[in-house]
Amino acid sequence: MLRAPAFWDRPPEAPGLLARALTPLAAITATVTARRVARSEQGLRIGGVRVICLGNLTVGGAGKTPAAVALAGMLAARGRRVAIISRGHGGRLSGPVAVDPRRHGAADVGDEPLMLAGHAPVFVARDRAAALSLAAEAGAEVVLMDDGFQNPAVAKDLSIVVVDAARGFGNGRCLPAGPLREPVAAGMARADLVLTVGGPEAQAAFGARWGGAIAGRPRLQARLEPLQTGFDWRGSRVWAFAGIARPERFFESLRALGADLAGMVALPDHAPLGQPMIARLLREARAAGAQLVTTEKDAVRLPQALRPEVLVLPVRLRIGDPAPLQARLSALGL
């Protein structure tokens, strides 16, 4: 995935000349998406199975995958049989297929589904309706839809829009003039909850800039926190690499833990991690007297033989006040 152009993150009131020049194309994007989501009433609904969509309005990462892990855990704690469906971005299998980490790799089903399979059954298909059907056949009573907020193939019982609090909705314009898949107002009209992910400063900045745009929708505030694994990162000299939407988040997490970052390598999201690249990174780390470290999502793309050489820093999503979400789940009988 290519890096987003810098002008996408300019303030909405000063988007820049290029964004203004691309506005006619942005209008086309908004129209096409509106026509697509208008077919959502025809989406598949399976009796006895609730569907919760974790989507976003922008392209790029917002925190949907850690949100899926957190929600899957919450539902399991409430005694529900939960499954996750995904398009399987980056995988070669069109599906529908049940993800099996013992025989599937990231090249088969995508890195995010493979990582999620450690937390709940995951079903991958280009056709979301086919994935939902397979999950239902496997006994799921609640299905988490990882992405697909603008996809009309499946009827949704609860839609949660996940937002990177630091980035917000960028310059507030649709592709290619900005990062939006659809206008904020159109997306909010279908959203049940908004989940903003980031630290206190980012959360405050989001509220100041976008609070009015999401008015009327309950807002959940969450942050990503490193999972305690027993490893003491304080003073550890590390060579960090990440192929996620915002690699700087990962580097900031390591610094917050007290790690000494000897090197940082930011790769494109979902970037292939072949043996030559990892071998080079290992050489660079060793030359610097550092330990190679990466994210959970990157770890599933590592060559099997080199995985023992790389440390992994897992993170989990912590919702400050989950009461609005819990109330919605209870209203759905979950």
pLDDT tens by residue, 68-100 = 999 999 999 999 999 999 998 888 999 899 999
In a domain, 300, yes or no: yes
- Specify whether 194 is located in the same domain as 254: no
Instruction: Name beta bridge partners: 315.
Output: 226
Q: Are 198 and 268 part of one and the same domain? A: no
The upper half-sphere exposure of residue 219, i.e. CA atoms within 13 Å in the direction of its Cβ, equals 19
Identify whether residues 304 and 326 lie together within a single domain.
no
pLDDT value at residue 272: 81
By the 8 A CB rule, do 126 and 91 touch?
no
pLDDT of residue 2: 53
Q: What angle do CA 40, 215, 315 make, to 5 degrees?
A: 75
Say whether both 146 and 100 belong to one domain.
yes
CATH number at 218 reads: 3.40.50.300
The domain total for the chain is 2
CA distances 187 to 37, 181, 315, Å, are 10, 9, 28
Interior/surface letters 203-220, b for 16+ CB within 10 angstroms, e for the rest: beebbeebeebbeebbbb
Residue 203 lies in a domain: yes
Residue 10 lies in a domain: no
Same domain for 113 and 164?
Answer: yes
Asked whether residue 3 is domain-assigned, the answer is: no
User: Are 113 and 158 within one domain?
Assistant: yes
Residue 286 and residue 199 share a domain:
no
97 is in which domain, residue-wise? 21-224+318-331
Does residue 79 form part of some domain?
yes
User: With a cut of 70, which residues of the chain have pLDDT below it?
Assistant: 1-3
Are residues 48 and 114 both part of a single domain? Answer: yes
Residues 128, 265 within the same domain: no
Is residue 49 included in any domain, yes or no? yes
Q: What is the pLDDT of residue 195?
A: 97
Has residue 213 been placed in a domain?
A: yes
Do residues 156 and 281 share a domain? Answer: no
- 191 shares its domain with 284: no
In a domain, 308, yes or no: yes
Residue 87 burial (10 A CB sphere; 0-12, 13-18, 19+): buried
**Same domain? 119 vs 266:** no
